[in-house]
Amino acid sequence: MKITAKRALGTLAVVAVVAVAGIDAAGSASGSDARAKLTLIAPAAAGGGWDLVARESQQALRSDGIVNNAQVVNVPGAGGTIGLSQLENLTGQSTTVMVTGTVMLGGIAINDSDITLQDTVPIAKMAEDFEVFVVPRDSPYQNLEDFIAAWRANPGGLPIGGGSLGGIDHIVSGQLAQQVDIDPAAINYIAFSGGGEVLTSLLSNTVGIAVSGYNDFRDQIESGNVRALAVAAPEPVEGIDTPTFKELGYDVDLVNWRGFVAPPGISDTDRQTLIEIVTEMQETEQWDTAIERNRWKPSFVTGDDFGDFLEVEQTRITDILRELGLV
């Protein structure tokens, strides 16, 4: 798996360089006014959680005229760390922000990245999202206990589809394994570059169970094409008619937060402008609608407070991965 992943990362890195070269050129052409033109990097493939956050933000920024021109660019790969490395290359460019979150902290740890979120400029933590385990509607697993019974009997024989290695999908899979006396390092976890690919793999029976953010599966859950077994949340989530792992007796409740960071080297004035932009955005009716539609939980923190959170959270996620034997 590691050899395949490295080959894939090489290809993705080339794509990322081309994409971000376009960002750099666009930024140079439009000056340094983020309110005139703002690029939002989604460091994953289209159809996943980071992409969703970027595009919901794009709509809110446009609809309320907060930014004249907001564009989304996808830079997938390695748990967001390819996007992170490209963001660092945009040093001093104040017309670009990147979506980040729990997945990237795992990607940094498992890929032993030389670049971390401490090398960026923290702008804001926006909201929290929740992980869900799902199976196809014709799956023999009617509930979580059915799956666990089969998993215990053959831990390596049941492929679990999710996002990047070391990301939150991988972590919650490992946490559940640990809870049911399965070695987390022995599970057959298959990593994909985004939620859209995870869903495709599930519907094509490439994997028998999948884990990702609720919104990656929302339409298919509501249409009955897939069945949700459990949601990883500290308490029941309004609008999600699925029991939490805690309600089912398992201590699995890691939350996937979403936020924005900017390239290093921007001025304090430009940083404040970006904070003001996202502050205005999260006050709009369009963003409120996005929060409700996507079953997110608002969790707005800006600037240095967000930076302090990032430092503590990186340590916490790395420690969890070590405990699970994944790094």
Q: What is the pLDDT of residues 224-277, one digit of tens each?
A: 999 999 999 999 988 899 999 999 999 998 999 999 999 999 999 999 999 999
CB atoms within 10 A of CB 204: 9
Architecture category of domain 131-232 in CATH: 3-Layer(aba) Sandwich (3.40)
**CA nearest neighbour of 190 among 221, 215, 220, 157:** 157
Asked whether the domain spanning 131-232 has the same topology as the one spanning 2-128+257-323, the reply is yes
Pick the CATH number of 2-128+257-323 from 3.30.420.610, 3.40.190.150, 1.10.275.10, 2.60.40.10: 3.40.190.150
Q: What one-character DSSP code corresponds to residue 137?
A: T
Residue 176 and residue 199: Cα distance in Å, rounded?
Answer: 20
Strands 160-162 and 209-213: parallel
Which pTM value belongs to this model?
0.84
- Sequence ranges of the domains in the chain: 2-128+257-323, 131-232
pLDDT, residue 10, reads 43
**CA nearest neighbour of 24 among 85, 106, 86:** 86
Mean pLDDT (whole number) for 162-183: 93
pLDDT band at 26 (very low <50, low <70, confident <90, very high): very low
